[in-house]
Every structure is written in structure tokens, then in C-alpha cells.
Amino acid sequence: MKFVAVLYPGPAEQHVDHSGLELLGSTEGALGLAKLLESEGHELVVLSDRDRALRDHLADAHVFITTPFWPTYLTADDLRRAERLELVLTAGVGSDHVDAEAAAELGITVAEVTGSNVVSVAEHAVMQLLALVRNYLPAYQQVVDGRWDIADIAARSHDIEDKTIGIVGMGQIGQRIALRLRGFDVKVLYNTRHRRGSTDEAVFGARFKHLDDLVAQSDAIVLSCPLTAETKGLFDERRLRAMRPGSWLVNIARGQIVDTDALVEVLESGHLGGYAGDVWYPQPAPPDHPWRTMPGHALTPHVSGTTLEAQQRYAAGIQDSVRRYLDGDPLQEDYVVARPT
Ligand SMILES: NC(=O)C1=CN([C@@H]2O[C@H](COP(=O)(O)OP(=O)(O)OC[C@H]3O[C@@H](n4cnc5c(N)ncnc54)[C@H](O)[C@@H]3O)[C@@H](O)[C@H]2O)C=CC1
């Protein structure tokens, strides 16, 4: 069997963390698959060059492994060329880089590692929220630039206490964000596809709202819903303008949920207080991309779901799926995104 894994490039030198946790998500760590596969005589190709993976290795691969942090986009055309392909695995959560509908029609299963990095992302969201509300990054930049202008920073710095925070997408990540926010004495509103029961709402300390009401009432909004046909461009110009003046937007989900051009506009005009999280642009952003020069926001797309702890979990989930595939056992039910129709 041929397994192909496309992962972000490993470090130039062997990385040993004080915790003893390995960098399993990179080409170097290869999700811990090398021993498992090679000892049984299977072929494992690990590379970071996405074009090369599609050009040279997709056609005869049985299993193709990719990750949202370094996504290889698999279109219907790509999948049609992959005559032996049976399984596409996402090392992480969110498989919007794969045309799941086409995969299902072509007899290919798509699966991810549900829940693997939800703690990593929830902590990141709270960090981004605080960074924006406290005006932390411009303050840090001042110090780096050798300035010490307290008024300039203090004039845009707030306490998060008593603010209203809206969470869009109350799933594994959204609920962990709500739980972590409880200590800050904020009011939490949420919107999600299926309203949670009253016990859940009491535990999360969150009240359900129609999306338009959540947008109108929130001082800060966190996006933690998947990218789907329904959520693509959900925060378009109209919705961004409907946000409260000076409010903040954190997007730990996917860049395409927000219209980038409209976002640049509402930030430049000062309507929004700041934005942090994923942005839809080619990675890394070209030097002249307007996003690179935007003031007062936190552009930190890299590490939300990729802490060393998260990597151990999604590597273990991938190993489990690979083991089951080789043994002819069904994958864990909640991992499956699309199955052959
Ligand atoms: N930044 C990062 O590193 C990571 C980002 N993610 C993103 O976060 C997303 C959510 O992850 P989980 O919480 O684990 O997924 P989940 O499946 O547990 O929860 C998703 C929630 O979004 C809700 N939802 C779906 N469509 C919606 C809509 N139109 N409006 C409002 N809510 C909607 C669902 O009802 C569900 O409650 C993933 O799909 C992925 O795109 C996930 C992991 C890492």
C-alpha cells in the first residue's frame, strides 16, 4: 500500500523540547507513521511540496494524508485522477480543503481527527481575545520600537469584564471557549446550528441568540464554526458593518468565513476595533498584501491548533485510522467526514 503524507517542513535541526514531546506534525515527525508502516512493508512518502505530492504521488496513492495547517487542496479533478485512492485523512479538524462530496461519489472515505486540537484552539481564542481587548500587540510593538507612549495604548485598552462575547459555532471548540471565559465575568451569547439543551447552557454560561441579534449585541465575536457552503462569507460586508462600533472579531475557524476585502475596509475605517485569526490569502502573505500592513490587529494564524500536545493527539488519531484501514476495521465513527455513496 502507498501512503502519502503532506506536512509542513520540519526544522533544520532536530528539535528536542524540554517536555519530551516530539514535533510529530511536521515532515520530520511524520505523525509517527514511519515505524508503523515501514515495518509492515508499506510505502510511506512524506513531503512538504504540495504541487509535487499532487503531480507525482496522488495517482497511485491508496491513502493521502494532509493537514489544515499546511493544506493540500484536493479538488474533484484531483480525486478523479487518483485511481487507487481509498482514504483521505486530515491530521487535525476541518476537512474543507477536500471536495468531500466528490470523494464520496468516487468511493473515497474522508476522515479527520475529531477533538484532537480543541483545547489548543480554545486557549488560543481566549489569548487572541485578550490581546485585542487589552491592545496588547501595539503595546508590545511600541516597546520593540523603543517608544513608551502610555496614552497611545491606554486610549484603546479595555477590561474584558462585563463585556458581551458572542460565540458562533458552539461545538467542541466553542464550548471550551465559553467554559474558559467563565472566569472573566463576561456575558456569553452563542449561535449554532442546533440549540444546546438548558443544562449545557447553564454549564457553559451561554445564552442562545439568532445570529443577527448576537452580532448586534456583542462587544467581541469569536468564530468557531466549520467552513461550509453556508458559512463561506457569513461575515460579509453587511454583517461586519452590523457589528458594534469598536468591537473585536476573533476567527479561529477558517479565513473564508469572513470576506477579506470587507474586513480590511471595516478595520481601516475604524469601525472594528481589531481582528485576530485566520485570513484567506495565499500563505505566506505576499509582502504587499494589505493585510500585512493593517494596524491594530493580531495576525497570528499559525499556532492555534498545533501545540505539541495537540500534535500528539492528532498523530495518535491518524495512527489509529491507519491501523484500522490496514486491518479492514471501520474507522472511528465520529472521525468520518464523508463515506462512499
Ligand atoms: N485554527 C485551528 O487550528 C483549528 C480550527 N478548527 C476549525 O474550527 C471548526 C470547529 O471545530 P470543532 O468545534 O471541533 O467542530 P464541531 O463540529 O464540534 O463544532 C462545530 C459547531 O459549529 C456549528 N455550526 C455549523 N454550521 C454553523 C452555522 N452555519 N452557523 C453557526 N454554527 C454552525 C455546529 O452546529 C457545531 O456546533 C472546524 O471545522 C475547523 O474549521 C478546528 C481545529 C483547529
236-260 mean pLDDT: 95
Residue 292 — pLDDT band, cuts 50, 70, 90? low
Asked if residue 303 has pLDDT above 80, the reply is no
Q: Which residue has the higher pLDDT, 44 or 298?
A: 44
Burial (0-12, 13-18, 19+ Cβ within 10 Å), 211: middle
Asked if residue 285 has pLDDT above 70, the reply is no
List Cα–Cα distances, 272 to 64, 169, 334, in angstroms. 40, 21, 37
Asked if residue 197 has pLDDT above 90, the reply is yes
Please report the domains of the chain, with CATH numbers, ordered by start residue: 2-116+307-338 (3.40.50.720), 118-299 (3.40.50.720)
Task: Please state, as a whole number, how many other Cβ atoms lie within 10 Å of the Cβ of residue 68.
Answer: 22
Asked if residue 284 has pLDDT above 80, the reply is no
15-38 mean pLDDT: 91
254 is catalytic: yes
How far away, in angstroms, is 174 Cα from ligand 1 center? 8
What 8-state DSSP symbol labels residue 213?
H
Helix, strand or coil, per DSSP, at residue 165: strand
Q: What is the pLDDT of residue 260?
A: 86
What 8-state DSSP symbol labels residue 62?
S
Could you identify the atom of ligand 1 that is nearest to the CA of residue 228? 26
275-299 mean pLDDT: 65
70-82 mean pLDDT: 95
Residue 137 — pLDDT band, cuts 50, 70, 90? confident
123-128 mean pLDDT: 94
Asked if residue 296 has pLDDT above 50, the reply is no
Asked if residue 58 has pLDDT above 60, the reply is yes
| Best residue for ligand 1 mutational test, from 8, 93, 175, 334 (most atoms within 8 Å of Cβ) | 93
Asked if residue 214 has pLDDT above 50, the reply is yes
Could you identify the atom of ligand 1 that is nearest to the CA of residue 278? 1
Q: What is the pLDDT of residue 225?
A: 97
How far away, in angstroms, is 43 Cα from ligand 1 center? 33
Q: What is the pLDDT of residue 94?
A: 95
313 is catalytic: no
Asked if residue 331 has pLDDT above 70, the reply is yes
Asked if residue 295 has pLDDT above 80, the reply is no
Q: Single out the residue of 326, 306, 333 nearest to residue 117, CA to CA.
A: 306
How far away, in angstroms, is 211 Cα from ligand 1 center? 15
312 is catalytic: no
CA 302 to chain CA centroid, Å, is 9
Q: Is the CB of 117 under 6 A from ligand 1?
A: yes
Q: Indicate the range of 5-9, 242-246, 253-257 predicted with least confidence.
A: 253-257
311 is catalytic: no
Residue 316 — pLDDT band, cuts 50, 70, 90? very high
- Taking the C-alpha atoms of residue 339 and residue 87, their distance in angstroms, rounded to an integer, is 9
Q: What is the pLDDT of residue 298?
A: 45
pTM: 0.95
How far away, in angstroms, is 257 Cα from ligand 1 center? 11
